[in-house]
Amino acid sequence: MVILKQTKDIQNFIAQQKAAGKRIGFIPTMGALHSGHISLVNKCVADNMLSVCSIFLNPTQFNDKKDLEKYPVSTEKDIELLLRAGCDVLFLPSAAEVYPGGSDLATTFDFGYLETVLEGATRPGHFKGVGQVVARLLDIVKPHTLYLGQKDYQQCMVIKELVHQLGNSSPVVTICPTTREADGLAMSSRNRRLTTPQRALAGIIYQCLVSIQAKQDNGNFDIVKKECEELLTAKGFVTEYVALANANDLTLLQQYTPDTPTVALIAARIGDIRLIDNILL
């Protein structure tokens, strides 16, 4: 695996690889890698792409600076995992490499409704930061295919919209299924911060999603939602949202809507750790 830290180095390397006929697959991450991230690398490798992974803890998408300070960092272990997965290139830039002209969010993209709802409602500026860093990384790496995880459903929608706004030379977006622990907990870098008792309870989020899915034919979502909220509260979570939305545009749905492609989404905090997950109905 080639490890590159400078923008000009990765740009040169990728230009050479493209000239040799390679297709470029790109997996942007913030590090603290786990099997969920590696599933994206595996998909990229299986698609016969030259696999390029980036690790960059992007400050501009953290509306809560304490969350940024506590974000786990494990670069040595990340490198080992990427090597084992057969990743070809790791881009490990500093903030100065990513944002040579500064990182003012005011001049970034507008995702309209998509950046105001659900995650956007509680994390102001978050998706502007995501759009900013992904646009910049796409401009550097210029991949043919971009690999994202369904775990961050709204982020996938925002990045698809970004790619649409970027136009012609933008990559194909491939969304990979959520990798889960044995009890259903969606793998997340933040899970490392859970205490043992918190970790033992955290599978409840996925159980709620599964019950929302199971009750879609005969259930009343008002009741199912209340059951989920009560269960989460009983286990010590603070629920931010338990929601149904149109899977194509994230319009919120108050009730199960059989002919509409639907995604159920949950965000809940335990202690100071915020977890999100979703399931397609």
Active site amino acids: 37
Stretch that binds ligand AMP, among 45-53, 149-157, 193-201, 212-220 (CB under 6 A): 149-157
Q: Name the residue with the smallest CB distance to ligand AMP.
A: 149
- Interaction of residue 40 with ligand AMP, rule CB under 6 A: yes
In sequence order, which ranges of the chain are alpha helices (DSSP H)?
7-19, 35-46, 65-70, 75-85, 95-98, 119-122, 126-141, 153-166, 196-201, 204-214, 221-234
- Output 157 or 244, the one with its CB closest to ligand AMP: 157
The nearest distance, CB 218 to ligand AMP, in angstroms, is 30
Q: How far is the CB of 251 from ligand AMP (least distance, A)?
A: 22
In whole angstroms, how close is the CB of 192 to ligand AMP at the nearest point? 12
Residue 76: CB atoms within 10 A of its CB come to 7
Is residue 30 within the footprint of ligand AMP (CB under 6 A)?
Answer: yes
When asked if residue 131 is in the footprint of ligand AMP (CB under 6 A), the reply is no
Q: Is 278 in the site for ligand AMP (CB under 6 A)?
A: no
Residue 151 binds ligand AMP, judged by CB under 6 A: yes
How far apart are CB 122 and ligand AMP at their closest, in Å?
Answer: 17
123 binds ligand AMP (CB under 6 A): no
Q: With binding defined as CB under 6 A, does residue 29 bind ligand AMP?
A: yes
- How far is Cα 7 from Cα 140, in angstroms, rounded to an integer? 7
Count of residues near ligand AMP by CB under 6 A: 17
Sheet containing 2-4: give its strands across. Answer: 2-4, 89-91, 50-55, 24-29, 145-149, 172-176
Residues 89 and 22: their CA atoms lie apart, in Å, by 13
The rounded distance, in Å, linking the Cα atoms of 229 and 237 is 9
Q: Which of 115, 119, 152, 161 binds ligand AMP (CB under 6 A)?
A: 152
| CA–CA distance, 31 with 78 (Å, rounded to integer) | 7
Interacting stretch for ligand AMP, rule CB under 6 A, among 181-189, 196-204, 222-230, 268-276?
A: 181-189
Q: How many residues does the chain have?
A: 281
For the chain, report the end-to-end CA distance as a whole number of angstroms: 39
Residue 90, CA atoms < 13 Å, CB-side half-sphere: 24
- Residue nearer to ligand AMP on the CB measure, 30 or 140: 30
The strand pairing partners of 269, in sequence order, are 238, 274
Residue ranges that bind ligand AMP, judged by CB under 6 A: 29-30, 36-37, 39-40, 148-149, 151-152, 176, 178-179, 186-189
